[in-house]
Structure 1
């Protein structure tokens, strides 16, 4: 049974056929209903609000996490993104804590603002229940690879260029054409792989799965589940499963709110504290410490701090090798953004039963255009490339089916610009049960794969396993695409491969070889 149909039945007791045949609906009851096709997609305004809030709480961690990546890194001059020096001494050993704190606060405010604007735009233009915010992985590439080679404004200028290029690819139809060229089994594999990936993310975020001392990963601390935060996670997961089985509406939102309230009580009584970077207090909260704090006025002065040309010159001079190295880095950003979004869009549409017979979500071009503009706006806002979030599937699992849910999510992000301390009340341990549960919902599509055909089964297998194992949606998609093309070629079935799949496979070869290429260029 498709996961979208499963969700319809389990959440609102609607038959699977109703989820697919959206034309069998009552006429719109209002202009809002007509614009967002709420009745047509067999949803309701309360469901859209619930779903939008669940998506927000599932991804609100980015308001705390993006500043820890973008706001704490130094550029080639030793300056933070705020422009202040990171270190108090010339030897770059003594960090200026006040300057870092200011930088983090600035990035937090800008992150929430850009996420709010772009997610509302996705809701109004794309009319799709998918949220946008600074992309994890993309921000790390900017902070740890681009910024150390240039100034922060120059690094953000490259992000803008990546966004412009990918927007052109949408406007020319290339990005949509690539999406259509992907064989249906690989699209299904992307959804299943993302389901495993997001479940793994939830387990890692909550500290249930961690790096082991003698193994790549292990259960909890040294193979044991220890600490109050883990208990909060387990209680939230048990509560969510119970509510789901009993078909209680709003199960995911209830789980998040209940987990957060419990976490606040636990922290107030037990003073658990957060996990430290040096590994101390391993049974503390993974990221946000759920303690009440005051309000803060946002500092949005990072907006517009962009240098669009400076990165291409070294000491004011153009060097071809340096230029090629930058092209490789921008290409890496572009490819990751390109296929992460494609995978997320497929997963969200599939989860909500919104995709058509060809696996295409409605208004695909508009969705991709808004996402592409997210990279441009993210660079202009100095928060790194903004992209679609797979956590949107949590909101869809709660019932979201239309762009109205994205408007709700975006509005919550805009409110979070001013109420960031309240957003930070939601610890990973309270939100992660939803991510794990969504993984269960998404993996049910695996029965649609014909495992008896190696030309299908092997690429699908690699796509599914490498997303969580490599902790990257892009790596999983790339491995699956390359395996598909390779197996078809050795079978002599080259005519069955869409021409664009050859192009994409070639691009992924360059993507996986970027380390070798950069070494050859001396970068």
Structure 2
């Protein structure tokens, strides 16, 4: 492991990497519960989706660990699964879940081709340094928002859109308790503070009625069968339809920039970017979610993508593929210990997400706020991620405003050709879709 992952060269060790990998898993384990529920609404068999979700995470994260050697974890992504269920199947398109699954497969195959020719890496490298730092900050706000909303501390309100939740609810109280406990552990420099905080908060949630322990609780159980969800694709008549084109293009857009945004933000926070602001082996990291998406579609789940919660493992010191390999191992274990892992409530992981958001805010001090052609795009990137509830849309606002401001202020030569092309595509997307 020392030689393969170059632990000493990355100023880390086995204990730190393993602990970081477990922490990452604990902060994203909710997907094992949430994804089957969302895709179940679309008519898929939830037990099979659970198994497909775990296996897709294992495959994609293992590729990231062993091929790209980065501490980033992957699993079927939030937002993408909602588009799958509530737009393609239950929404205006009104298609079958098999149709949506086929769209995911096609998207994954296209991603593999784009990654092979390093087209996605070119996009990654084209993002200016200030925007990369802004992406890190924006993701911090976004995942803090996820944590707070998962604990019902903030809620959606018909009048104000976002409002303060019921702080007297058990979930909110548990999350606040967990935030205090984890904060104290951080102040005391306790190693593994985030993971310990999750465990303690989960245990406290049992007598509070937030952490649910089933009456027939058993530690070990066999994973549900994939028979009803695996390899369920539609025929070529539907593959060649206009609706399929719309579905695939939307999946492509959201996944490309969710993944690129996550890689930029988390790698920037971890100090993995080189002097030019590029991520070494970026093409390999991008290949991991492409392979994971194809594998996930075949197994029976929505698009697999790099998780922003990877930042929690990085915050614990994870710097190499051993972190993500540990996370992959935890997802594999989850197949056998599903009752244990799925028992962790979102209120117990919320404090970790909020504090990781704090950690990622540190990049804001390195942004150039004196040059308004840099400051305005950076600001829009930061605020639009939580406001639009989308990493991808935050990047779009930042990149388009960057190109427009540079061009109109006579600094167009500072903008790369890739940035011009992407901005035109973003504008065309808004006009045509």
Pair in the same fold by TM > 0.5: yes
SS of residue in 1 equivalent to 2:161:
coil
* Alignment match, 2:402: 484
Is 1:179 matched with 2:124?
yes
- Between the two proteins, the alignment pairs up a number of residues equal to 426
Structure 2 residue corresponding to 1:355, chosen from 241, 256, 273: 273
* Alignment match, 1:437: 355
State whether residues 306 and 382 of structure 1, in contact with CA within 8 Å, keep that contact through their aligned partners in structure 2: no
Q: Deviations over 1:168-189 (max 9, x none)?
A: 1111121111111111111111
State whether residues 127 and 403 of structure 1, in contact with CA within 8 Å, keep that contact through their aligned partners in structure 2: yes
What is the correspondence of 1:136-285 to structure 2 with a 5 Å cutoff? 136-148=78-90, 149-212=94-157, 214-221=159-166, 225-267=167-209, 285=210
Q: Deviations over 1:65-93 (max 9, x none)?
A: 011111121xxxxxx22xxxxxxxxxxxx
In the TM superposition, what is the alpha-carbon distance from 1:213 to its structure 2 partner? Answer: 5.1
* Alignment match, 1:51: 20
Q: Quick check: which one's helix share is greater? A: 2
In the TM superposition, what is the alpha-carbon distance from 1:310 to its structure 2 partner? Answer: 4.2
1:179–1:333 Cα change, 3 Å: same
State whether residues 403 and 420 of structure 2, in contact with CA within 8 Å, keep that contact through their aligned partners in structure 1: yes
Q: Aligned-residue CA RMSD in angstroms?
A: 1.6
Is 1:299 matched with 2:244?
no
* Alignment match, 2:365: 447
Identify unmatched segments of 5+ residues in structure 2: none
Identify unmatched segments of 5+ residues in structure 1: 1-31, 74-79, 82-102, 268-284, 314-321, 518-523
Is 1:112 matched with 2:54?
yes
State whether residues 157 and 379 of structure 1, in contact with CA within 8 Å, keep that contact through their aligned partners in structure 2: yes
If the length of structure 1 is used for normalisation, what is the TM-score?
Answer: 0.79
State whether residues 373 and 405 of structure 2, in contact with CA within 8 Å, keep that contact through their aligned partners in structure 1: yes
Partner Cα separation in structure 1 for residue 62 and residue 403 of structure 2: 38
State whether residues 154 and 310 of structure 1, in contact with CA within 8 Å, keep that contact through their aligned partners in structure 2: no
SS of residue in 1 equivalent to 2:75:
strand
Partner Cα separation in structure 2 for residue 265 and residue 309 of structure 1: 54
Partner Cα separation in structure 2 for residue 420 and residue 190 of structure 1: 34
SS of residue in 2 equivalent to 1:355:
coil
If the length of structure 2 is used for normalisation, what is the TM-score?
Answer: 0.94
Q: Deviations over 1:241-287 (max 9, x none)?
A: 111111111101100110111112322xxxxxxxxxxxxxxxxx5xx
In the TM superposition, what is the alpha-carbon distance from 1:350 to its structure 2 partner? Answer: 1.9
What is the correspondence of 1:16-27 to structure 2 with a 5 Å cutoff? none
* Alignment match, 1:93: none
In the TM superposition, what is the alpha-carbon distance from 1:123 to its structure 2 partner? Answer: 0.7
Structure 2 residue corresponding to 1:69, chosen from 30, 33, 38: 38
* Alignment match, 1:127: 69
Partner Cα separation in structure 2 for residue 308 and residue 253 of structure 1: 46
Deviates more, 1:355-364 or 1:107-116: 355-364
State whether residues 260 and 290 of structure 1, in contact with CA within 8 Å, keep that contact through their aligned partners in structure 2: no
Structure 1 residue corresponding to 2:313, chosen from 395, 419, 439: 395
State whether residues 132 and 387 of structure 1, in contact with CA within 8 Å, keep that contact through their aligned partners in structure 2: yes
